[in-house]
Structure 1
Amino acid sequence: MNEISLLITLASVHFIALMSPGPDFALIVQNTSHHGRRTGLTIAAGLSAGILVHSILSITGISYLVQQHPTLFSFVQILGGSYLLYLGIGALKSLYQTQKTATAPNEKKKASRILTNQKQAFSKGFMTNILNPKALVFFISLMSSLVPASMSVTGKVSAVFILWFLALFWFSLLAWLLSTKRLQRKLESSAHYIDGICGVIFTLIGSVILWQAVSHL
């Protein structure tokens, strides 16, 4: 298989993985529904930056070394699981506060404002992706199977660019579509349900990752 075919296959597998529901998807949906298009696009940039770092670490072999070192990999799992659990508890806490202040519109609005600026939004997107050990394992598998060591430097750089660009394109498109006026009105009316679902997703994934990390210590 030539390099172009490998890159096309890489792009296809990665794009399918991007569209599958997970922490990144949930983060975009939750925050776009609360804060609108600009915040959604900023989080998309943060998520894609995390994928860029994962891609570089995987293609240079650093991620593989981390995975092969049990103690270090468990440490990464604990960090990632704890952060996702933190996001989950935060979302559920926000839902509880919103329900508690349902009769006070101003307080309700204040309770839902989890993010305060775009820098924080970018950091949240970046940290959610970069601390996800599942992403680390995924990119190691993807790179090792579809980006052989014999591939040219141009091919490897192209592979990293493709992974970053597709992530930025998909997450930005998702944020854009979710922030159209018609859909935004529907999302705002369902924000408490979105918080609940996203909170459960983050909490479950974070708990599973932490359990796996602790069980391997």
Structure 2
Amino acid sequence: MTNEYQILLTLASIHWIALMSPGPDFALVIQNATRYGRTTGIYIALGLSFGILIHSILSLTGISLIVHTHPVWFALIQIAGGSYLAWLGLSTLNSLYQRRKVRHQPETQPPASLCLDNHKQAFSKGFLTNLLNPKALVFFISLMSSLIPADFSASGKMLALVILWGLSFFWFAILAWLLSGQRLQNKLQAAAVYIDGLCGVIFSVLGLMIGYHAFTSLT
């Protein structure tokens, strides 16, 4: 049991470091917490954490490994994930361009295609962004296969899932909370256009790179 606790501690440490690394999830929280405030940012965080939970379950049960070892299946997942990220990025950039063309539109009004009408939409956006990220699939396969032995207890596996989900939600929720403080929010709103533009570029470049890699792997 002591050995299992050590494994779980190592798992939590590696996952925590990975969470703090900049990526699509990080950018999504920054963009939406800046634009729409604390509650929307927390629902984005909840969606991201459930995406991570699904990846963790699939990796722990070996399903993700099966997909990863079939090049065509994995390439199709990469294409789907890359397309979604590219769509997020390009729609953001297009909305910013359209808003710039309409000179009389107030600067504080967000682009129409970026609006999150409700909490369900915010959750879905976070969930899909993480779930369709093929890099997350590879990361959790590597993490689980290298740390979790075949004879790991069922209670240990359940605890691992709770830790991975809990740390994910905690980190992204704290990030959304900090970014949506009133004083910081006033400053970030002035730079919201630039934040949207940067996030749009990040999503577009990552999505196109993932899609290109997937297409080349099939040829």
- The TM-score, its normalising length taken from structure 2, stands at 0.95
Question: Structure 1: which 5+ runs fail to align?
Answer: none
The question of whether the paired residues in 1 share the 8 Å contact of 2:34 and 2:188 is answered with yes
Could you report, residue by residue, the CA deviation over 1:26-79 in whole angstroms, capped at 9, with x for unpaired residues? 000001111111100000000000000000000000000000011110110000
1:207 pairs with 2:218:
no
2:15 aligns with 14
Moved more, 111-120 or 151-160: 111-120
Paired residues in the alignment total 216
Q: Secondary structure at the match of 1:109?
A: coil
Query: Conserved in 2, the CA contact under 8 Å of 1:94 and 1:195?
Result: no
Pairwise CA distance, 1:110: 5.0
What stretches of structure 1 move > 2 A for 4+ residues in a row?
A: 97-104, 110-114
Q: Shift in Å at residue 14 of structure 1?
A: 0.3
Seq. identity, %: 60
Structure 2 unaligned runs (5+)?
none
Letter in 2 for 1:121: A
Cα 1:110–1:3 shift into 2, 3 Å: closer
1:82 touches 1:206 (CA, 8 Å); kept in 2? yes
Cα deviation digits, residues 151-206 of structure 1 (max 9, x gap): 11111111111100000000000000000001111111000110111011001110
Q: Give the distance between the partners of 2:143 and 2:177, measured in 1 at CA.
A: 28
1:102, 1:152 → 2: CA distance? 62
CA contact (8 A) 2:59 2:144 kept: yes
Q: What's the CA shift for 1:99?
A: 2.3
Matches within 5 A, 1:1-217: 2-105=3-106, 109-111=109-111, 113-217=114-218
Cα root mean square deviation, aligned: 1.3
Shifted more, 109-118 versus 16-25: the winner is 109-118
Report deviation, 1:118.
Answer: 1.1
Structure 2 residue identity aligned to 1:111: P
